[in-house]
Amino acid sequence: MIEFDRVSKTYGSTTALADFSLVAPTSKITVLMGLSGSGKTTIVRMVNKMVTPTSGSVSIDGLDVSGLDAVTLRRSIGYVMQEVGLLPHKTVLDNVTLIAQIAGQPADVAHRNATEMLQMVGINKQFFTRFPHQLSGGQQQRVGVARALAIKPNILLMDEPFGAVDPIVREELQDELCRIQRELGLTIMFVTHDRHEALKIADQLVILSNSGHIEQAGSPSELVANPANAFVRKILGV
Ligand code: ADP
Ligand code: MG
């Protein structure tokens, strides 16, 4: 599990996060939902030490990440964001294989994992030799997910990953993510603005207001049945 214990982050006079505590359970999807600037990106980036807390601690299975090597951590945690950032002059297969190799896998293992994960996210072999600009936005996002999975992570951090994908493809990606999550038993922290997406994929849904203040956390059905306050009602549209 991932545990945030009284975590704060300040940038000068800006409090990005104030006294934030949360457990993201193992093999579950925790969705963070809140307005822009509420601290969602700050929270997920603390898990792989892209952001360091000003105070408080973040731990993975009881190990404080502050004591872990940042590079090692990033090679063991999948990270997907809206801008996929594939290498433009590398093929689809090379993009995914390369990341697995950087994570320390021997070439043949990296190639096998890349092939397996691309197929798992629905990219067929005929696309393997294409370049990123020859793919649709949805396909690029699938490759981004495959790339994150090719390092064989237990944890996947997803920061508005499907934000730029059109609605029908987005639904497909959500379905596939849920299937993959179950199949691999992944622990996922997923950030979204989209209430439909949040309610559909979350095991635990966390509604945040400014500075990562938790307005309510629970299962989607609990939140819809018993929204804690007007803010939660508004953001969930119930
Ligand atoms: P969200 O992802 O929910 O939109 P962020 O975590 O990106 O929110 O940001 C939370 C707050 O912290 C915002 O007010 C943002 O402007 C501020 N912030 C985030 N990163 C930095 C930074 N590197 N320097 C200064 N302020 C930052
Ligand atoms: Mg953000």
Residue nearest to atom 25 of ligand 1 (CA): 11
**Rounded distance, CA 43 to CA 50, Å?**
10
Closest residue by Cα to atom 26, ligand 1, is 11
Kind of pairing between the strands at 77-81 and 2-11: unpaired
Report whether residue 14 contacts ligand 1, using a CB cutoff of 6 Å: yes
Cβ pair 10, 4 in contact under 8 A: no
Interval between CA 36 and ligand 2 midpoint (Å): 7
Read off the pLDDT of residues 50-91 as tens digits, 9 standing for 90 and up. 999 999 999 999 999 999 999 999 989 999 998 889 999 999
Per residue in 27-57, pLDDT (tens digit) is 999 999 999 999 999 999 999 999 999 999 9
What domains are defined for the chain? 89-186 (3.40.50.300)
**CB burial class (10 A; 0-12, 13-18, 19+) of residue 89?**
exposed
Between the alpha carbon of residue 114 and those of residues 9, 106, 194, the distances in Å are 36, 12, 30
DSSP 160: S
**Residue 160 CA to ligand 2 centre (angstroms):** 7
Protein residue with its CA nearest to atom 7 in ligand 1 = 41
Task: Please state the atom number of ligand 1 nearest to the C-alpha of residue 9.
Answer: 12
144, two tokens: 């981004």
Find the ligand nearest to 206 CA. Answer: 1
pLDDT digits (tens, 9 = 90+) for 212-227: 999 999 999 999 999 9
pTM over 0.85: yes
Query: pLDDT value at position 158?
Result: 97
